[in-house]
Chains A and B, each alone.
Chain A
Amino acid sequence: MITIEKQATNSQTMILSITGRMYAEQATTFRKQVLSLIEKGLTELKLNLSSLEYIDSSGLGVLISIRKHLDKVGGTLTILGIQGDVQELFELTRLNQVFHIE
């Protein structure tokens, strides 16, 4: 229920644009995919969530996990394009103060 579009400058820098609905099951799979990219050298990740229609605490937890893994390798995570209900969720959980958001 989510599609992921990848734009990679090189193996260290990437933008992932997520479209659709990220339920707990999709969040688990997404986490594995991104951690695999980090193991292969990804350090600068931007997540474009402008077309994300649904996320809940499972997905938010995965974003935190990804950020922690990037922190360990000296990398960064930037969240792009949150709006509407997704933005409201970030604000309600105060994660808008935890993530770097553009």
Chain B
Amino acid sequence: MRVIEVHLSFLHDQISQIRPIIKAFLEPFDHEGLHLEIGINEALNNAFYHSPKQGYLQMQLCLYRNHTLIIRIHDNGLGFQVGEKLATYDFNTDNEGGRGLLLMQAYFDRMIYNHNGNEVLLAKKMKGMSL
């Protein structure tokens, strides 16, 4: 049963207005919340960079009674080759990009992209909340 559910649809250039919403949603989770905030913003950044400037993004944040957090982010772009990016990641490089997927995988239990690379599902079993 869902305890908290947030659905957002926003235009490409409104992404900066979404960041405080994510921060506020995760605030009850203290230190763990910051890690998840980074992971979600990484997914949003990928959606932003790989979608058209006049495009839109959709995000769902769902917290379930068993403390499972599910995030879904979809954009109307053509996507990108997620598998290829993950396969070619090299820690020994000082490339300016390419670390976002690494952080998403590090901070979430599951990261699942669709075939096109324009929709991602992130899942995390939370340790707990401070109220």
Residues of A at under 8 Å CB distance from B? 1, 21, 23-25, 54, 56-58, 60-62, 64-65, 67-68, 85, 89, 92-94, 98
Contacts and interface: CB of A to CB of B under 8 A. Distances in A.
Given A92-B106, A93-B103, A61 B45 contact: no
Contacts, number: 56
Q: Give the interface size bracket for B toward A.
A: 20 to 34
A78 to B, nearest CB: 16
Interface of B: 15-16, 19, 31, 34-35, 37-38, 41-42, 45, 48, 91-92, 94-100, 102-103, 106
Given A85-B31, A93-B99, A56 B42 contact: yes
Contact of B96 (A24, A54, A65, A92): A65
B48 to A, nearest CB: 7
